[in-house]
Chains A and B, each alone.
Chain A
């Protein structure tokens, strides 16, 4: 499926889609969206890139094995869950800053939890997809 149109389009689409996925992630707390969907959208962006340019190119572009995302995301989620315990609150209590931040909006521990989910989802989907497509190509 190496068509020039798709190839060219995917180069532009990748950053746009990634940005879109982050947007979905951040708006999740107030409007439809969230870490899970955001992560899936980001994975789709990479899959699209892989379709247009070949898996090897995407791998080069990523530089790291996508599986590395999994432990990172899990750690972030866990830390955000444990963070309230530092100030004597039970596990996974939501903590929030008083004032909203520009662009991002309200920031709280739930957001970091969601970011962790996002990263894990990207890691998991890409690992599964890449592994399967690689072995299917063998």
Chain B
């Protein structure tokens, strides 16, 4: 199992190294990986059909509770089969599709990485491991969406996708940590057993919010849906893979996975129903206005994801069965439609549905694949889609109080989806073929076979639902719902309400398709409302934040060291004085102040004089030298209070600092008029208040009764453990040697910084 998950990463690395060796159809070899994984996962079906689950455990970071536990139950198996099965077809298809592209090896590297991350995501039983894979899918899909990285649009939409899904990832991480710390384990199986603890936790709503935030952004739910149409800038095989079977379904998977943990709760159900419901209607409605094939498919994908979330929200057994079946239905027909679209785009060079027609005459097998996918998506009887649609209606009807409203929503959505499916899958192939497409020819077998296979599979499952009932669907529902499943999948349920609803859907969809022709005019109709759409508002907020950050940076980090210091000191003064005057009783215990000796008086006098000199001198050199005198005086104070180590270090450092300043200042032009009076007064006030504050704090510190435990520990043990009598040094090199090690590394970085800044100057010409 470990090998199965990680093999994708290994292959990704190998493909990247193999570089240009992969050309043309040689990349077909790579599809051996998903195919063999697919067969491997198929072999688990009998075991899971009997009601067992499979668990593999590998320790990873035990001290943090991170385990690579793989838990294979019905839900993960369904997803594994989708990922590897559709993955196989995508790999084959892509080998032909990407033939003419540069950097095919990178493409396959990202694709294998993505597949492996998805597998890891759906198999992980440990939420922290799951999160790692989750982010890996975000990152690898970022590369995939932005694959045509010389296209600015591509880059923009991949960044948008990463920003949204990555941002959601943070919420998810927080949610996982919250859940994990509530029950003291990060394992999903243990979360299921401690379900009641989580459900009764006072932070339940927060967990819900965070988890939903992660899942909704990933699954493009309203109002985070807008990154998905943009993600269509990716090469079509990627869109087919990401948006039919994998990436966006990860959110649905997560919600399904956590249904036994957080689900069956009124808040959970309502959140999912409302968000899913809005998404499905909103996105299906939007698909009516589009003319680009991939954009239409993108919106129907969002809508389908909405349906899935909606069904999970309803949460009854019928709804869960419907969700399980619909995941499979949607993956099959949507991948088919995407692949068909890819072929059309590849061969004709356009995806504008208003231009395309009559293509069946030149590419019959593709037409068949497209039409089969479209009728499956429409839910015409004896296709798999029909089954899915029936189950959706059964699910909504079982939903309790609001069932009429919810069913109506589902019907409306499905009518619009039928329209969109027909436009994408049938419209390009019917009618007369325009003259510019006469010499379009059929692409290679490797391209049209995968969508055709998917279509055939849809038909087979439609005719013989028993094939997947016990083997696939029931284990999923068991994983979601716990109990046994008592509703077998059938084609024919008799004449009942569900059939009537199906008929309404079909008739409505046909009418819609007949009377509404896609046209580019209508897109303007929606565009008028653009300013109110989330796609406009959320990036707008992002732009606002960006502008704020720019202004803030310009004010606070303007490049003048003096301003930085001023800001830091002022901030400290405000913060500390607030604390001092609100929370601390200031009183000075005079008994703690020792008698002042003659040396102390002398040293203080020198210091005062030196400070006076520093402030009021007109020569930089004198100021630096006077500062040095202050340093040496402090050094002497260290000696008086028996801290020879500190004194030595202070002495040497001070010497070197003065030398450094002198070296630099010696060469500066002698400006005598450095600042004007207001600035001086301001600086003086800041300095005075900061100094006063520090003095008060120092006096307060004396009053605190110090705990001497640490001092005693070091004094006692420095010789015992480290054979040293100088406690300071023993701490430096032994007890806290690690700190010192890091510190000298920091010093190194500082030296490199100074060296590179001053020595490796960019010449004036290069700068321009």
Give the B-binding residues of A (Cβ under 8 A): 24, 28-37, 40-41, 43-44, 47, 51, 67, 70, 73-74, 77-78, 81, 92, 94, 96, 106, 108, 110-111, 113-114, 116-117, 120-121, 123-125, 127-129, 131-137
Establish whether residues B733 and A113, one from each chain, have CB atoms under 8 Å apart when the complex forms.
yes
> Which residues, 741 to 759 on B, are CB-close (under 8 Å) to A?
741, 744-745, 747-748, 750-751, 754-755, 758-759
Establish whether residues B656 and A129, one from each chain, have CB atoms under 8 Å apart when the complex forms.
yes
Q: Which residues of A contact B740 (CB under 8 A)?
A: 77, 113, 117
**Distance in Å: Cβ of B609 to nearest Cβ of chain A:** 26
Establish whether residues B725 and A29, one from each chain, have CB atoms under 8 Å apart when the complex forms.
yes
Best-surrounded residue of B667, B723, B758, B759 (most CB of chain A within 10 A): B723
Q: Which residues of B contact A36 (CB under 8 A)?
A: 649, 732
> Please, how many angstroms separate the alpha-carbon atoms of A116 and B755 in the complex?
21
Best-surrounded residue of B653, B663, B722, B733 (most CB of chain A within 10 A): B733
Establish whether residues B745 and A94, one from each chain, have CB atoms under 8 Å apart when the complex forms.
no
**What residue in chain A is nearest B740 (Cβ atoms)?**
A117
**What residue in chain B is nearest A115 (Cβ atoms)?**
B733
Given contacts A30-B726, A78-B741, A94-B723, are A137 and B667 in contact (CB under 8 A)?
yes
Partner of B726, one of A32, A77, A129: A32
Partner of B751, one of A34, A67, A78, A96: A67
B659 interface residue (CB < 8 Å to A): yes
A-B contact pairs, 29 of them (CB 8 A): A29-B723, A29-B730, A31-B725, A31-B726, A32-B728, A33-B729, A34-B733, A37-B652, A40-B649, A43-B652, A47-B656, A73-B744, A74-B745, A92-B734, A92-B741, A108-B723, A111-B733, A114-B729, A114-B733, A120-B744, A124-B747, A127-B755, A132-B660, A132-B664, A132-B754, A133-B663, A135-B758, A136-B667, A137-B667
**Distance in Å: Cβ of A59 to nearest Cβ of chain B:** 14
Given contacts A47-B659, A114-B733, are A34 and B726 in contact (CB under 8 A)?
yes
Partner of A37, one of B645, B660, B733: B645
Q: Which residues of B contact A135 (CB under 8 A)?
A: 758-759
Best-surrounded residue of B649, B663, B722, B755 (most CB of chain A within 10 A): B663
Partner of A132, one of B655, B663, B734, B745: B663
Q: Which residues of B contact A40 (CB under 8 A)?
A: 649, 652-653, 656
> Please, how many angstroms separate the alpha-carbon atoms of A47 and B663 in the complex?
11
B58 interface residue (CB < 8 Å to A): no
> Please, how many angstroms separate the alpha-carbon atoms of A133 and B723 in the complex?
41
> Please, how many angstroms separate the alpha-carbon atoms of A35 and B738 in the complex?
15
Q: Which residues of B contact A96 (CB under 8 A)?
A: 723
Establish whether residues B734 and A94, one from each chain, have CB atoms under 8 Å apart when the complex forms.
yes
Establish whether residues B744 and A74, one from each chain, have CB atoms under 8 Å apart when the complex forms.
yes
Q: Which residues of A contact B667 (CB under 8 A)?
A: 136-137
Given contacts A128-B751, A135-B758, are A32 and B648 in contact (CB under 8 A)?
yes
B724 interface residue (CB < 8 Å to A): yes
> Please, how many angstroms separate the alpha-carbon atoms of A37 and B721 in the complex?
23
B605 interface residue (CB < 8 Å to A): no
> Please, how many angstroms separate the alpha-carbon atoms of A30 and B727 in the complex?
8
Establish whether residues A37 and B649, one from each chain, have CB atoms under 8 Å apart when the complex forms.
yes
> Please, how many angstroms separate the alpha-carbon atoms of A43 and B728 in the complex?
22
Establish whether residues B729 and A28, one from each chain, have CB atoms under 8 Å apart when the complex forms.
yes
**Distance in Å: Cβ of A120 to nearest Cβ of chain B:** 4
Given contacts A74-B748, A132-B754, are A30 and B725 in contact (CB under 8 A)?
yes
Q: Which residues of A contact B644 (CB under 8 A)?
A: 32
Q: Which residues of B contact A123 (CB under 8 A)?
A: 748, 751
> Which residues, 174 to 204 on B, are CB-close (under 8 Å) to A?
none
B101 interface residue (CB < 8 Å to A): no
> Please, how many angstroms separate the alpha-carbon atoms of A19 and B624 in the complex?
30
Q: Which residues of B contact A77 (CB under 8 A)?
A: 740-741, 744
**Distance in Å: Cβ of A116 to nearest Cβ of chain B:** 7
B666 interface residue (CB < 8 Å to A): yes
Establish whether residues A124 and B751, one from each chain, have CB atoms under 8 Å apart when the complex forms.
yes
Give the A-binding residues of B (Cβ under 8 A): 644-645, 648-649, 652-653, 655-656, 659-660, 663-664, 666-667, 721-726, 728-730, 732-734, 737-738, 740-741, 744-745, 747-748, 750-751, 754-755, 758-759
Establish whether residues B722 and A94, one from each chain, have CB atoms under 8 Å apart when the complex forms.
yes
Partner of A110, one of B649, B656, B737, B750: B737
**Mostly helix, strand, loop or mixed at chain B's interface?**
helix
Q: Which residues of A contact B725 (CB under 8 A)?
A: 29-31
* For the complex of A and B, 7 pairs with smallest distance between CB atoms: A40-B652, A32-B644, A29-B724, A124-B751, A133-B663, A34-B729, A30-B725
Given contacts A28-B729, A29-B730, A113-B737, are A136 and B663 in contact (CB under 8 A)?
yes
Q: Which residues of B contact A67 (CB under 8 A)?
A: 751, 755
> Please, how many angstroms separate the alpha-carbon atoms of A28 and B644 in the complex?
11
Establish whether residues A125 and B738, one from each chain, have CB atoms under 8 Å apart when the complex forms.
no
Given A29-B725, A51-B659, A129-B660, 5 new contacts (CB under 8 A) = A33-B648, A36-B649, A40-B652, A113-B737, A124-B744
Establish whether residues A44 and B726, one from each chain, have CB atoms under 8 Å apart when the complex forms.
no
**What residue in chain A is nearest B661 (Cβ atoms)?**
A132
> Please, how many angstroms separate the alpha-carbon atoms of A35 and B734 in the complex?
13
Best-surrounded residue of A108, A125, A128 (most CB of chain B within 10 A): A128
Q: Which residues of B contact A81 (CB under 8 A)?
A: 737, 741
Q: Which residues of B contact A129 (CB under 8 A)?
A: 656, 659-660, 663
Q: Which residues of B contact A33 (CB under 8 A)?
A: 645, 648, 726, 729
Establish whether residues B744 and A116, one from each chain, have CB atoms under 8 Å apart when the complex forms.
yes
**Distance in Å: Cβ of B618 to nearest Cβ of chain A:** 21
Establish whether residues A106 and B723, one from each chain, have CB atoms under 8 Å apart when the complex forms.
yes
**Distance in Å: Cβ of B730 to nearest Cβ of chain A:** 7
Establish whether residues B724 and A124, one from each chain, have CB atoms under 8 Å apart when the complex forms.
no
**What residue in chain A is nearest B756 (Cβ atoms)?**
A131
**What residue in chain A is nearest B665 (Cβ atoms)?**
A136
Q: Which residues of A contact B755 (CB under 8 A)?
A: 67, 127-128, 131
Establish whether residues B728 and A34, one from each chain, have CB atoms under 8 Å apart when the complex forms.
yes
> Please, how many angstroms separate the alpha-carbon atoms of A23 and B481 in the complex?
76
Q: Which residues of A contact B649 (CB under 8 A)?
A: 36-37, 40
**What residue in chain B is nearest A118 (Cβ atoms)?**
B744
Establish whether residues A121 and B747, one from each chain, have CB atoms under 8 Å apart when the complex forms.
yes
**What residue in chain A is nearest B724 (Cβ atoms)?**
A29
**What residue in chain B is nearest A70 (Cβ atoms)?**
B748
**Distance in Å: Cβ of A104 to nearest Cβ of chain B:** 13
Q: Which residues of B contact A51 (CB under 8 A)?
A: 659
Establish whether residues B741 and A34, one from each chain, have CB atoms under 8 Å apart when the complex forms.
no
Given contacts A29-B724, A32-B645, are A43 and B656 in contact (CB under 8 A)?
yes
Q: Which residues of B contact A92 (CB under 8 A)?
A: 734, 737-738, 741
> Please, how many angstroms separate the alpha-carbon atoms of A129 and B730 in the complex?
29
Establish whether residues A121 and B726, one from each chain, have CB atoms under 8 Å apart when the complex forms.
no
**Distance in Å: Cβ of B758 to nearest Cβ of chain A:** 4
Establish whether residues A124 and B750, one from each chain, have CB atoms under 8 Å apart when the complex forms.
yes
**Distance in Å: Cβ of A14 to nearest Cβ of chain B:** 15
Establish whether residues B748 and A124, one from each chain, have CB atoms under 8 Å apart when the complex forms.
yes
**Distance in Å: Cβ of B97 to nearest Cβ of chain A:** 50
Q: Which residues of B contact A31 (CB under 8 A)?
A: 725-726
